[in-house]
């Protein structure tokens, strides 16, 4: 499981624009539109207030603002959370909110 991003540069502003997709097996599902988008190593999750049980994460910082995504599994559901941070914000943190969920197919074992 991982994230992949398709990034384009806005010709008018020069800013990156990314469509973020969650890859689960053979499925590729769009989960968000964000700015800069690079995969994160698990060793950097804490830097972005991403829980240690996250299965994958991505995001990036551009021109004073950042967008971030991570996915966790809760029982038979994958949940994607999106957060943000800006240079001028008056509060702290990454403001994560759930933006997508997917039920996993669980096959029953035959006895």
Residue 21 CB partners (closer than 8 Å, separation 6+): 3, 4, 5, 6, 28, 29, 30, 31
Give me the chain's average pLDDT, please: 90
- Domain limits, the chain: 2-103
* Tens of pLDDT, residues 16-69: 889 999 999 889 999 999 988 999 999 999 999 999 999 999 999 888 889 999
Classified as helix, coil or strand, 9 is strand
Q: According to the model, what pLDDT value does residue 108 have?
A: 59
């Amino acid at each position: 499981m991982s994230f992949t991003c398709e990034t384009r540069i806005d010709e008018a502003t020069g800013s990156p624009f990314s469509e973020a997709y969650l890859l689960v097996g053979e499925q590729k599902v769009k989960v968000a539109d964000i700015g800069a988008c690079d995969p994160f190593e698990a060793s950097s999750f804490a830097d972005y207030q991403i829980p240690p049980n996250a299965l994958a994460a991505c995001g990036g910082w551009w021109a004073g603002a950042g967008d971030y995504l991570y996915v966790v599994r809760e029982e038979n559901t994958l949940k994607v959370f999106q957060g943000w941070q800006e240079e001028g914000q008056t509060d702290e943190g990454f403001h994560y909110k759930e933006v997508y969920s997917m039920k996993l197919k669980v096959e029953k074992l035959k006895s």
